[in-house]
Structure 1
Amino acid sequence: EEKILLVHSDSYRYFGAFDDDGKRFSYASTERNGRDFDLYTYDFITHSSKMIYESKFGFYPRAWRPKTSQLLMAEVRGEDAVNLYILDADSGKSNVLYNPDIAADFNSFAWKKNGEGFYFSSNLNGEMNEVLFYDVISHQTTTIVKNTLNLEKVRLCNNDKSLIWTINQNGYDKLQVLNLVNNKHQEIDIHKGVYELSCTSENNLLSVLVSSSDTPGTLYLHDLDTGLTKSFIDPEMAGINPQNLKHPKVVTFKARDGVTIQGLLYLPPVIHKGLTPPVVINVHGGPTSQSRPSWRPINQYLLGKGIAVLDINVRGSTGFGKKYARLDDKKNRLNSVRDLVDAINWLEKSGQVNSEKSAVMGGSYGGYMVNAVMGLYPSTFKAGASFVGVADWVRALKTASPGLKASDIIEYGDIREEKWQKFYANNSPINTVGKITSPMFFEHGVNDPRDPIEESDSMVKILRQNNVPVTYLRFSDEGHRISKVSNKILFYRELANFLERHLN
């Protein structure tokens, strides 16, 4: 039976975690003043909420310490960086665990059953995330595993005998297990893709949900004692043969300033002799996200129509080190836009695609990238598709939701300061929209709390005044993401038609 625990509110809420005995859960909410995220617990016995920590800006609950009233608490320092605290939910007292001079990422916490410490993923000590252990008694940090690649998704299973993590290698996950009893390390060979991991501390089973170019989600079970892995649940493919779906190849190229840019290039299964396919460059959001080889049906559809796709990780993406993720911060913002132009130039020289028939698409921050590159470099792409993208940075940053303003300050600068208002007033896509001449596609939800509907409305208005061909899906019942199946079908159908029409 479904029950409403927290009634609808205009406040922003962020779910934390259940405590060890499942009698309460933590969450963050802006209900006190509509701006700052305070921490709360909801008690299932009293059916009531209680504020446990009054904060400023962005504080969020993380994992509970077993058999105690304590939990970890993260303070936002940027899109991909936090400070870490331990908070007593009963007394409201907190202590700083990590507040490094150089901002770092702390995530994927796995407490030992006795509560003496926790394993986690962090780039505290360098460029890439390592697996670390924090001892609550001695307050010492120990490096458990380090690598030249990012180590992520830390889990502690099998009565604290098995420590599990993934290696992010060019977007693909590699699953690793360390037996904490005999110190034996092994790699688990599972269907290549991007993994979601789940286990309990009481038994020896690890579930691995795989998302890949050829599966929307296959569930595997791995026995941590015997080492055996079996497919447990296969997805419904609606008659599609997974063998006909294409995997990408990892590509890299040098941007104009020498920075190495990575991407995933999908090439159509059939390329006619003497011809090269059109190409769509897809830009992820975030901006501190990463394009990974997970299930992307629009990619497979375009490939079936003979159109190549490059999922690009422009500078500022995560997964390639701390320095790379900072390369687009603040006044370096437009350098990442130029990466898109350099990508087309590289594709042209590689001879793998027809750069004369190219388009660019992206959502959220990726939508901003589309809006920007189409105006700054109007002759580069034959078409652009922007979903919930930013047009006016001053407006977007000033009206951002409370949950985003704390991280926005690190990534973009403090829009309350005059110097940043001037910078973004001069460097927003709305200033160059008049230079766009190629056809454009826009999608936006009226209820978007991240990027207001005015962002796309303003772009579309000017483009139509200039007689530029525009397709605009303006959903009155959607927000920052499309949730309704009927709207998803309409969106993908119209987007595919738009790209086919202007590239073929």
Structure 2
Amino acid sequence: MFLKRINTSLALASLVFALSACQQAPENSGITPETATNKTDDFKTYDAASFFATTSMYGSSISHDGSAVLVSSDESGIYNAYRIPLDGSEKQALTKSTTDSTYAESWFPKDDRIIVSADLGGNELNHVYVRELDGKLVDLTPGEALRAEFFGWHENQDHFYVLTTERDPRFFDLYLYSTKDYSREMIFQNDAGFDLKDVSKDANWLALAKANSSADSDIFLVDLSQETATPKLIAGDEEESIAYSIYTFSADNERLLYGSNKGSEFTHVMNYSLTDGSHSVDFEADWDVIFSYFSKNGKYQVNGINQDAQTVLSITEVATGKEVTMPTLPPGDLRGVNFTADETEMVFYLNSDTSPSNLYHHKIGSDKVVQLSNNGNPKIKQAHLVAGETRRFKSFDGLEIPGILYKPKQAETEKVPAIVWIHGGPGGQSRFGYSAMIQHLVNNGYAIFMINNRGSSGYGKTFFHLDDKRHGEDDLQDVVYNKKYLQSLDWVDENKIGVMGGSYGGFLTMAAMTFTQEFDVGINIVGVTNWVRTLESIPPYWEAFKQALYDEMGDPATDKKRLHSISPVFFGHQVTKPVLVVQGANDPRVLQVESDDMVAAIREAGNHVEYVLFEDEGHGFSKKENRIVASERYLKFLKEFLN
């Protein structure tokens, strides 16, 4: 998305955990000596379909009886909800959509009903549904032009929370639903544009955030047990810009954990006592702590640190303060850790650059780990894939810019073309992990440097704000100097370097092709090209942080001249090298007209541009078939113009 990520905890809500792992594989790990070898004497290249023949899976809600995990999986070509038994038996599709992705949210706590969400064609107007025991889907949030989100369970297990913008398309209100008949009551009407973050399990407390700018935010609490629900400021400083984020209420409903970067470059975890109003440090590290949460009854606390594009995970037993020792695991990063209701077992995912996420089951205190999924493509040898390496280079002003470098196998014998990949955001971050698209391009002989240019999250608040109202300027120079770094590598063809990216990364791609003559090709994926129009047409449900977005990018009412000057669409005649533009017709963030106009401007000047439009996608491509088409088009374009 094109938005400075003010709440880093939610920006990385996929909970990408990393943990140091040993080489030996556990029972049923699926890692064999053959797949783990580094031999490349039989190296081969694969088409995009082979890389996307892997399955993307996430979600770790455990059923009321502890027998199964609820996951979202795209194995059918589109996301649906699946039941995966913990005993290793066959999984079951619980939803069977063939048109729009359906995402698993949660089991019901007393039976096998589930909560799912879905939008229409990527328009991001999600509705919340219950899948009944007979398979019927019940829309809990019917209506047009609204957006809804599942918000968690009441501790009595007879009620759950849902956010919806049905009353006012700008703001989310909070409703409490009955599991019996789905009747509901509004328990907080959001008239002031707060960002609702968490509600205590007993429904007595609601935590709210208010973004004042991209660097400054406040935290409020609402006592829902009172007749008049008035937000009370608990963390905010009128004299100093401090970014606060909300993590979770404690399982006993007595504390709120929140993040703060006060007095530090990095975010640490703070404790707020709901009984006496005191604040204390709960957990801190030398990097951003991006999340902290508890198991159901509070026996375990999970903390995640964003350490150089990987998330280092710790699981602590709260009563003793001792860290839980994990068994020997295959190489990879942990994701989606969750616990059974009795807190004796856990499930999690392992993911690496060369292996997609697989689900595992572990009984705490034992050495046994059981793999519950095999989401890789057995026809691709793991030794034919490439793991990224952390690299840094100096930009135009001496600032060190971090990133992840992928070196193709072909580079062992010949010089290869290279691509600078730019993440979205602008305050996003490229991270380690399996990407079918990245592996497809690297496997076919293209070096890729995933740049975390200034303004990226994860490297301290100073680095994070270096691009404020300087977008398309200093961060663009980081991209140019990334090219110079690639040219310094003796295995890179210095005359064949391209640039590509999605969303904000698509903007910087077009800026590089428009305002510089440095790159030989550019691939713009759902990228902003007209900042004036984009900032004037943001979705209404972004109202809660619109001011922060304007503070970050500029207000189109007052900064129109500058926004016009960095918008590539007005300078399409300056593009002289081949460009590929890829767009979703239903994109609510970067409207199709952005790409239409950019393509028209380049064509009007007589320069080469290709255009791929997906009629059934939004801001990013959820359907596997479309992802395959896009990846093959990237490769075809690169082979024609960068080889």
Asked if these proteins are the same fold (TM beyond 0.5), I'd say: yes
Structure 2 CA distance for aligned equivalents of residues 140 and 183 of structure 1: 21
The answer for the alignment partner of 2:144 in structure 1 is 9
Change in CA separation of 1:406 and 1:64 when aligned onto 2, cut-off 3 Å: closer
The answer for the alignment partner of 2:393 in structure 1 is 253
The answer for the alignment partner of 1:362 in structure 2 is 501
* 1:208, distance to aligned residue in structure 2 (A): 2.1
Paired letter, 1:21 = N
Which residue among 295, 298, 301 is the counterpart of 1:157? 295
Verify the 8 A CA contact 1:194 1:212 in the aligned structure 2: no
Are positions 1:409 and 2:544 aligned together? no
The answer for the alignment partner of 1:347 in structure 2 is 486
Change in CA separation of 1:213 and 1:394 when aligned onto 2, cut-off 3 Å: same
* 1:263, distance to aligned residue in structure 2 (A): 0.4
* 1:99, distance to aligned residue in structure 2 (A): 2.3
Are positions 1:327 and 2:466 aligned together? yes
Paired letter, 1:195 = R
Change in CA separation of 1:49 and 1:499 when aligned onto 2, cut-off 3 Å: farther
Change in CA separation of 1:56 and 1:397 when aligned onto 2, cut-off 3 Å: farther
The answer for the alignment partner of 2:564 in structure 1 is 425
Structure 2 CA distance for aligned equivalents of residues 246 and 389 of structure 1: 27
The answer for the alignment partner of 2:531 in structure 1 is 393
Verify the 8 A CA contact 2:169 2:541 in the aligned structure 1: no
Structure 2 CA distance for aligned equivalents of residues 462 and 43 of structure 1: 54
RMSD: 2.6
Q: How does 1:59-458 map to 2 (within 5 A)?
A: 59-77=194-212, 82-89=217-224, 91=227, 92-100=229-237, 101-109=240-248, 111-157=249-295, 159-185=297-323, 188=326, 190=329, 191-193=331-333, 195-200=335-340, 202-226=342-366, 229-273=369-413, 275-331=414-470, 333-377=472-516, 379-413=517-551, 418-458=557-597
* 1:439, distance to aligned residue in structure 2 (A): 0.7
Change in CA separation of 1:204 and 1:133 when aligned onto 2, cut-off 3 Å: farther
* 1:228, distance to aligned residue in structure 2 (A): 5.7
SS of equivalent to 1:367:
helix
SS of equivalent to 1:430:
helix
* 1:57, distance to aligned residue in structure 2 (A): 6.5
TM-score, normalised to structure 2's length?
0.72
* 1:125, distance to aligned residue in structure 2 (A): 4.5
What do residues 29-69 of structure 1 show as CA deviations (whole Å, max 9, x unaligned)? 43334334444444444634544334356433333213343
Structure 1 CA distance for aligned equivalents of residues 280 and 441 of structure 2: 47
Could you list the runs of 4 or more consecutive aligned residues of structure 1 that deviate by over 6 angstroms after TM superposition? none
Change in CA separation of 1:327 and 1:143 when aligned onto 2, cut-off 3 Å: same
Change in CA separation of 1:51 and 1:179 when aligned onto 2, cut-off 3 Å: closer
177-186 or 438-447: bigger deviation:
177-186
The answer to which structure, 1 or 2, has the higher relative contact order (CA under 8 A, 6+ apart) is: 2
Structure 1 CA distance for aligned equivalents of residues 459 and 547 of structure 2: 22
What do residues 375-398 of structure 1 show as CA deviations (whole Å, max 9, x unaligned)? 111x21111111111111110000
Matched residue count: 501
Change in CA separation of 1:173 and 1:234 when aligned onto 2, cut-off 3 Å: farther
Verify the 8 A CA contact 1:58 1:403 in the aligned structure 2: no
* 1:120, distance to aligned residue in structure 2 (A): 4.3
The answer for the alignment partner of 2:156 in structure 1 is 21
SS of equivalent to 2:410:
coil
Structure 2 CA distance for aligned equivalents of residues 289 and 187 of structure 1: 31
SS of equivalent to 2:621:
coil
Change in CA separation of 1:36 and 1:63 when aligned onto 2, cut-off 3 Å: closer
64-73 or 220-229: bigger deviation:
220-229
* 1:373, distance to aligned residue in structure 2 (A): 1.2
* 1:174, distance to aligned residue in structure 2 (A): 2.0
SS of equivalent to 1:354:
strand
Structure 1 CA distance for aligned equivalents of residues 396 and 488 of structure 2: 14
Verify the 8 A CA contact 1:264 1:293 in the aligned structure 2: yes
Change in CA separation of 1:248 and 1:194 when aligned onto 2, cut-off 3 Å: farther
TM-score, normalised to structure 1's length?
0.91
The answer for the alignment partner of 1:462 in structure 2 is 601
* 1:133, distance to aligned residue in structure 2 (A): 2.2
* 1:227, distance to aligned residue in structure 2 (A): 6.8
Q: Provide structure 1 residue ranges, at least 5 long, that are not aligned to the other structure.
A: none
SS of equivalent to 2:416:
coil
112-121 or 263-272: bigger deviation:
112-121
229-238 or 492-501: bigger deviation:
229-238
Change in CA separation of 1:159 and 1:27 when aligned onto 2, cut-off 3 Å: closer
The answer for the alignment partner of 2:69 in structure 1 is none
Structure 2 CA distance for aligned equivalents of residues 220 and 142 of structure 1: 35
Change in CA separation of 1:96 and 1:202 when aligned onto 2, cut-off 3 Å: farther
* 1:146, distance to aligned residue in structure 2 (A): 1.6
Verify the 8 A CA contact 1:30 1:36 in the aligned structure 2: yes
What do residues 187-211 of structure 1 show as CA deviations (whole Å, max 9, x unaligned)? 6465333623222563132322223
Change in CA separation of 1:155 and 1:38 when aligned onto 2, cut-off 3 Å: closer
What do residues 283-335 of structure 1 show as CA deviations (whole Å, max 9, x unaligned)? 11111211001111111111211111111111111111112111111245521
SS of equivalent to 1:278:
strand
410-419 or 256-265: bigger deviation:
410-419
Structure 2 CA distance for aligned equivalents of residues 500 and 82 of structure 1: 47
Percentage identity across paired residues of the two chains: 27
* 1:255, distance to aligned residue in structure 2 (A): 1.1
Verify the 8 A CA contact 2:302 2:315 in the aligned structure 1: yes
* 1:272, distance to aligned residue in structure 2 (A): 4.8
466-475 or 77-86: bigger deviation:
77-86
Structure 1 CA distance for aligned equivalents of residues 279 and 619 of structure 2: 39
Paired letter, 1:168 = N
Verify the 8 A CA contact 1:446 1:474 in the aligned structure 2: yes
What do residues 139-158 of structure 1 show as CA deviations (whole Å, max 9, x unaligned)? 22222222112223323237
Q: Provide structure 2 residue ranges, at least 5 long, that are not aligned to the other structure.
A: 1-134
Structure 2 CA distance for aligned equivalents of residues 231 and 335 of structure 1: 46
What do residues 97-130 of structure 1 show as CA deviations (whole Å, max 9, x unaligned)? 2224423141432x33321113344434422122
Change in CA separation of 1:355 and 1:287 when aligned onto 2, cut-off 3 Å: same
Verify the 8 A CA contact 2:349 2:360 in the aligned structure 1: yes
The answer for the alignment partner of 1:471 in structure 2 is 610
